[in-house]
Amino acid sequence: MATTARSASALEELNLTATKPRSLWGDAWRRLRRNKAAMLGITMVFLYVFIAVAAPWLAPKNPVTQTSNNSLRPPIWVTDNPNRQPNPEHILGTDTNGRDILSRLIFATRVSLIVGVVPQIIIVVIGVGIGLVAGFRGGWVDNLLMRLTEIVASFPDLLFIITLTVAFRETLFGKAFNGLLLIFTALAVVGWTSLARLVRGQVLSLKEKEFVEAARALGIPTSRILVRHILPNTLAPIIVAVSFSIPSLILAEAILTFLGVGMRPSVDPANPLPTSLGQMMTDGFNNLSSGPWMLLFPVLLLSTLVISFTFLGDGLRDALDPRDAGR
Amino acid sequence: MNKLNWRSSLAVVMLLALLLPILAACGGGTATAPTTPPAPEAATTAPAPDAPTTPPAPDAPTTPPAPSGGTAQAGVLRINTESEPDNVDPQKSSFVREIQFIMMAYQALMTFDGNMEPIPAAAESVETSADGLKYTFKLRPDGQYSDGTPVTAQNFEYAWRRLADPETAGEYQSLPCGIIKGYSEYSATACEGMEMEETLARDQDELLANFGVKAIDDLTLEIELVAPAPYFLSMAALWIGAPAREQDIAQGDDWWYYPENYIGNGPFVLTEWDHGNRAVWEPNPNYAGPLGPVALQRVEYYMITESQVAFQAYQNGELDMLAVAPEDLQAVQSDPTLSQELLPVSGSCTFYFGFNTTKAPFEDLKVRQGFAQAFDREAWNRDIFGGLGSVAYSFIPPGFPGYQPELRLWEFDPEAAKAMIAESSYGGVENLPEIKLTYSASARNNARFEWMAGQLKTNLGIDAVLDPIDPTAFSAATKDNPPQMFSLGWCADYPDPQNWISLFQTNGLLSTRVGYSNPEFDALVTQADVEQDPVKRAELYAQAQEILVTDAPVAFTRNDGGYELVKPYVQGVTGETITPIDYWYGFFNLPNVDVQP
Amino acid sequence: MTAYIIRRILWQIPVLVIVGLLTFGIAKMTPGGPFDTDPTRRQMSPQVEAVLRDRFGMDLPFWRQFTRYMFLDVVTDPKTGEQAIRWGAIGGNFGPTYSSRGARTVQQELFGERGGKPSRFYYSARLGVQALLFAVLLGIPMGVLAALKQNTWIDYLVLLTSTFFVSLSTLIVGFLLVLIFASGLQWFTVLPNWNDPIRPWILPTIALGSTSLGFITRLTRSSVLEVKRQDYVRTAQAKGLNDQVVVWRHMLKNAVLPVITILGPLSAALITGTLYTEIIFQVPGMGSLLIEAIGKRDYSMIMAGALVFVFFLGLANLMVDIAYGVVDPRISYK
């Protein structure tokens, strides 16, 4: 039944790889292009990346310039409060310090993308590496790595990140890039464990599968089996986890900011990373009654950012699934 | 209107988002309605190692008082105390939230009236000897604890001794050092820095025999001082002398944790304390003192840390009084109902920028004076604090004895500021070393000091570096290694200039943080602290404060305060009846405070 | 199997000690101490602070402080001179809290009755379990549904909403629930009455569960999609088994594996307390206590937070691994 069908296709696949290296990414790209949601996601992500890169040219104002007597102006279309009329110069209104919300949003997109992506790269490298090796080798290697994972995962992450940031904040390291470097490190150090466990779990069930056994039986080297056969098959959950992890990293930064240990504030007009969405959301939450727009816009921006990553992630998963090759 | 529109449209967007998954689930017909699952199994999820076993779910609640919920009840006052106190042992506490607890249950010898003058409380009368060295308190003959036992002078003697006892090691233990006779000797760990073992090795009986607090008979208490201290009666009104009883304290270190041990002679009895959530007080039937008879039937303390939640609770009619957060002020003012419920209040704190006079460039007087007038206090208070509180040019805040409204030496003047710095040994703003502004990190403070750094940039052309550090680390830093320029505040313990001005004496509590020392200032303060003639004393403190402001080791910025929201049905809490040092607004007017919805 | 479980439990001991050591080290390294309180108030005098430091043994060498906290200490009775062993955290004694100036112990604060009321642990654990059940019971069906109706409007709706939940922090979800259901619709009060056994629990459960709900929904959806394409499912379908049977017998069992993996850390996190839900809904749980402890430098409480979390995580992960074995018989434990 299923077994024979599977081994046949595995052998077929192996033949293919042996004779003519199949272009996995070319196929994937072709499939991705057919997926409308994914294309929307990609477009949006590129748009945000563009905004992040071109922030200084896009922002109508400097994000840290404060003007007196100009605080908490509503967006220009909200005109029903005679006490607090919008200022036509600020399309989305101003915050408590009289800074332009739109400009701050544009720069915050930049910081939040970096916060979502840079630690994520570290997390994926560590998490996938450890998960693959642990799951595939098994035995004492698995045991050792899983204990390490467990120890790291056992750090109550919020508690640990806060302690870590508080402890190192005053050092040179803690002050680099407005404190972002410290936040990256703290997030990455505790963030990789669930991914490692996820990958290990996948590998555990995959390595019992027939096509892996077949590949082994054919004498294909372990590293090659890992990279060509196991890894692609674990990509789907990895991508899903990553597409979730990006917003949770952005949110983690917000939590730290809320507790007063996040990014350092900046008043330097030339600072390329003046504020983050987390910081704006925290300010917005504190000012919810007087300036709800201060919360609404960063929340909407963050949601669309997350949804775009998710669509992209889903599309990638479908596109990269080798079993869908014939589709 | 604006606010409501925004809020409701925001709510609609979010409501949709919240309902969608439920709709989607129903559409598919698979998911069950999200009923709250039964809970008790939670309690059985593996107890921690060797920890006391988890108590089972509360069975049929034996609710002591009916919950007041969302509607106001006659005689029930509900207020927000913001956080669970860590320790409400009178002789060990210092935090404002802890004092708020202690002074409900206990009554000290004195209390304050509506003008912040000390008046007898547990005492019926007090006599001061001509030399100002001996105070004789006559206790009320009808004074009783809430369980009916009489309040005696021995109770007070015990309380003051316990405060001084080296073993107690309370946070305010050092306050009466050098004031009460024999205190410094007995409490040698706190006052003289003696080692604990050495302290205890001395003859305790002899030390206690010389201790200045003595019960002469059941109703007479004598307190002898080392030197005249005209502010002593204010000190006698503090929580540190609250008569906690020996038999209650004997219940263990955490005796105060359980309402049944927390028996005092104050206007209220603690009837329920749901730790971390709320505390319920009912009037003490045996109370005798100036704060009675209490009209209220119940006071509920809620420990709400998040101000936005507290604001919602107030709007929903679940709190009767609430301090307005600066961020909410605009919403309150544009709301037709809420704006009618605002009560202007003045606070008891003064905030300032400290200039560390031992670090460049602030060792130079002209630089300090320049900085002191380089920022627009009015704009700061208006734009950042929504006009809550008031701008400060001197140390003692408005409403307190010793306030000098005319002392406004360093009004905002950027040109004068630059000129002043040009006159300094640095010769100009451009020659100053890097300026780093250190403050206690929090989301709110960031916006505040970003603004301040913007001012220095605009007015002086200085690119100040902001250095927010974690609050606890900040607190440690200001003590151990004060930063170059930092933001700090001071809040009153008791309403007397001595509680303010003396702190800047050489090696005083606040002067050490900026390395300030001026012999002329010291001499004036030393003289004022013991001066018995009130007019002369006030004059001396005023002179001292002028020197302090002129020397500018710190630049005073603002006083707290602002507005309290008070429901219209709360009686007795008005501008005339409140003071900045109320434990909650209206406390010193307790007989007239009531809730009549 | 039994041997495996015992070995896993024994492994917990070094894990606890290492986590404890690191936490203790970092906490002690952090500038500021438990007696550096609000600087706008009078600080305790350095002399009093010295007395308290001595009382808490803060001037002992680091290793002594650690072993004393973690394992045991020999204490001498000052009156009789007798020596006795006082157990540390391994004996369930997490030490006196610094914030109460030693009046209360950590185990009293976390697990002890609060003067006739259930402990803080009870609140955290009950809320965590409820939230987990909420997320799993709603999330798995929603995920399966979305996967079965892939690329229909139902799918998109589920995707969109679950993503939305993940992108909002509990703080904002919780506060919106308060705005809508308490302030707006008046179904609940903003301030809970914890004497009521059900009502005050509903909103915090939803708020705490919402992020996990979004996560579980999406994870289920993607693993069901994955399994759907597997040959044995296609074969089963080809053999004419009807959809219901295929879904429940074949797909769900496999699809649920990744979800189970994630449940371990998730449940430990949910149970040991969640700061935001607690501060928004006035829940007297452990989360706020443990997070505040960092700010207050309450070393014993910080340590307890880490150790209790590790303990529950170990427990949850062990149960997950056992569940793995049950769901997927191909995995064997030596």
Contacting residues of C for A314, CB less than 8 Å apart: 159, 222
Q: What is the C-alpha to C-alpha distance for residues B331 and B336, in angstroms, rounded to an integer?
A: 10
Contacting residues of A for B334, CB less than 8 Å apart: 81, 83-84
Residue A2 reports pLDDT greater than 50: no
pLDDT of residue C246: 64
Contact B87, C103 (CB under 8 A): yes
- The distance of C82 to chain B (nearest Cα, Å) reads 19
Cβ separation B190–C48 shorter than 8 A: yes
Cβ separation A95–B441 shorter than 8 A: no
| pLDDT-flagged residues of chain B (< 50) | 1-68
- The distance of A91 to chain C (nearest Cα, Å) reads 25
Q: Any idea which of A116-130, A214-228, C233-247, C278-292 has the lowest mean pLDDT?
A: C233-247
For an interface test with A, which of B5, B6, B457 has the most A Cβ atoms less than 10 Å from its Cβ?
Answer: B6
**Helix/strand/coil for B222:** strand
pLDDT band with cut points at 50, 70 and 90 for residue C233: low
Contacting residues of C for B470, CB less than 8 Å apart: 30-32, 295
Nearest Cα residue in chain C from A3: C232
Express each pLDDT in B496-506 by its tens digit.
Answer: 999 999 999 99
Cβ separation B331–A265 shorter than 8 A: no
Global ipTM: 0.87
Contacting residues of B for C195, CB less than 8 Å apart: 58, 61, 63, 67
> CB distance from B189 to chain C under 8 Å?
yes
SS in 3 state form for chain A? Answer: CHHHHHHHHHHHHHHHHHHCCCCHHHHHHHHHHHCHHHHHHHHHHHHHHHHHHCHHHHCCCCCCCCCCCCCCCCCCCCCCCCCCCCCCCCCCCECCCCCEHHHHHHHHHHHHHHHHHHHHHHHHHHHHHHHHHHHHHCHHHHHHHHHHHHHHHHCCHHHHHHHHHHHHCCCHHHHHHHHHHHHHHHHHHHHCHHHHHHHHHHHHHHCCCHHHHHHHHCCCCHHHHHHHHHHHHHHHHHHHHHHHHHHHHHHHHHHHHHCCCCCCCCCCCCCCCCCCHHHHHHHHHHCCCCCCHHHHHHHHHHHHHHHHHHHHHHHHHHHHCHHHCCC
Look at C264 and C204; give whichever has higher pLDDT: C204
Express each pLDDT in C237-258 by its tens digit.
Answer: 677 666 666 666 667 777 777 7
Express each pLDDT in A164-209 by its tens digit.
Answer: 777 777 677 777 777 788 888 888 888 888 889 888 888 888 877 7
Express each pLDDT in A57-83 by its tens digit.
Answer: 998 888 888 877 787 888 888 887 777
Most trustworthy range by pLDDT among B429-433, C217-221, C320-324: B429-433
Helices (H), C1-152: 2-29, 46-55, 62-70, 106-111, 120-148
| Pairing mode of beta strands C72-76, B436-440 | unpaired
pLDDT of residue C231: 67
- The distance of A238 to chain B (nearest Cα, Å) reads 25
Cβ-in-10-Å burial (0-12, 13-18, 19+) of A216 comes to: middle
Look at C173 and B111; give whichever has higher pLDDT: B111
Identify which of B7, B330, B453 has the shortest CB distance to residue A267.
B453
Identify which of B2, B7, B466 has the shortest CB distance to residue A265.
B466
Q: What is the C-alpha to C-alpha distance for residues A102 and A297, in angstroms, rounded to an integer?
A: 9
Residue C315 reports pLDDT greater than 90: no
Contacting residues of B for A296, CB less than 8 Å apart: 6, 10
> CB distance from A167 to chain B under 8 Å?
no
Interface of B with A in 385-414 (CB under 8 A): 386
For an interface test with C, which of A140, A149, A151, A154 has the most C Cβ atoms less than 10 Å from its Cβ?
Answer: A154
Express each pLDDT in C74-91 by its tens digit.
Answer: 888 777 778 888 888 888
Q: What is the C-alpha to C-alpha distance for residues C299 and C30, in angstroms, rounded to an integer?
A: 11
Q: Is the bond preceding C284 in cis, omega lying within 30 degrees of 0? A: no
Mean pLDDT of A18-28: 57
Cβ separation C161–B475 shorter than 8 A: no
pTM equals 0.83
> CB distance from B450 to chain A under 8 Å?
yes
- The distance of C162 to chain A (nearest Cα, Å) reads 10
Express each pLDDT in B508-550 by its tens digit.
Answer: 889 999 999 999 999 999 999 999 999 999 999 999 999 999 9
Contact C273, C124 (CB under 8 A): yes
> CB distance from A100 to chain B under 8 Å?
no
Other Cβ atoms within 10 Å of A19 Cβ, number: 8
Express each pLDDT in C146-161 by its tens digit.
Answer: 888 877 888 888 888 8
Average pLDDT, chain C: 83
pLDDT of residue C54: 87
Cβ separation A296–B443 shorter than 8 A: no
Contacting residues of A for B414, CB less than 8 Å apart: none
pLDDT band with cut points at 50, 70 and 90 for residue C299: very high
Cβ separation A162–C294 shorter than 8 A: yes
Q: What is the C-alpha to C-alpha distance for residues B89 and B547, in angstroms, rounded to an integer?
A: 39
Tokens matching residue C22: 């690191």
User: Counting one residue from A and one from B, how many pairs have CB atoms under 8 Å apart?
Assistant: 121
Contacting residues of A for C29, CB less than 8 Å apart: 167
DSSP code per residue over C217-267: HHHHHHHHHHHHTSHHHHHHHHTT--HHHIIIIIIHHHHHHHHHHHHHHHH
pLDDT band with cut points at 50, 70 and 90 for residue A313: confident
pLDDT of residue A270: 80
Cβ separation C129–B31 shorter than 8 A: no
